[in-house]
Amino acid sequence: MEYTVEQIDQVGAGLLALPPLDASKRKLDKQAAVRRIKDQIATVQQRGYTLEQIAQSMTELGIQITTPTLKSYLQRAKKAGGRGARRASRPPPAPGPGSVNRAPNAGGEAAPATPLTPKADRGDGSPKSTRSEFISTDRQRL
């Protein structure tokens, strides 16, 4: 089925006219629920409870979750929580031996990787063969 631009614009305006929902009535999946209460879970762990006991208590309280799932969700929440702050505060790594030059080109995109060291030759004046040359010669032998 096709729609006119006018129909779509009316739908968009109708959506924007909807009243805001009460934030406390928002639906959360299990992962979002664990992310929301991760501080409470950490507090309970500090009191000596295991993840198995916490998962069992959460199930009894209405959120059915297994221990491995709880552990996975907590690890994801931990990574997501500190990702931006760690990345922003870390200086970029200094180029070391064997690193590649990835300076942006005029379009702002990263240039193709180029080794910083020149290619060695085999001593007979011909450059060292590349992987693609090796593969093509292998195919010819087969």
Judge residue 51's burial from the number of C-beta atoms within 10 Å of its C-beta, 0-12 exposed, 13-18 middle, 19 or more buried. Answer: middle
Phi, psi of 101, deg, nearest 5: -85, 120
Phi, psi of 114, deg, nearest 5: -130, 135
pLDDT tens digit string along 46-70?
999 999 999 999 999 999 999 999 9
Task: Indicate the pTM of the whole model.
Answer: 0.48
pLDDT tens digit string along 77-131?
988 865 544 444 555 566 555 555 544 455 555 544 444 444 445 555 555 555 5
Going from N- to C-terminal start, the domains of the chain cover 28-79
pLDDT at 1 over 50: yes
Q: Report the alpha-carbon distance of residue 126 to residue 16 in Å, rounded.
A: 68
Which DSSP letter does residue 141 get?
H
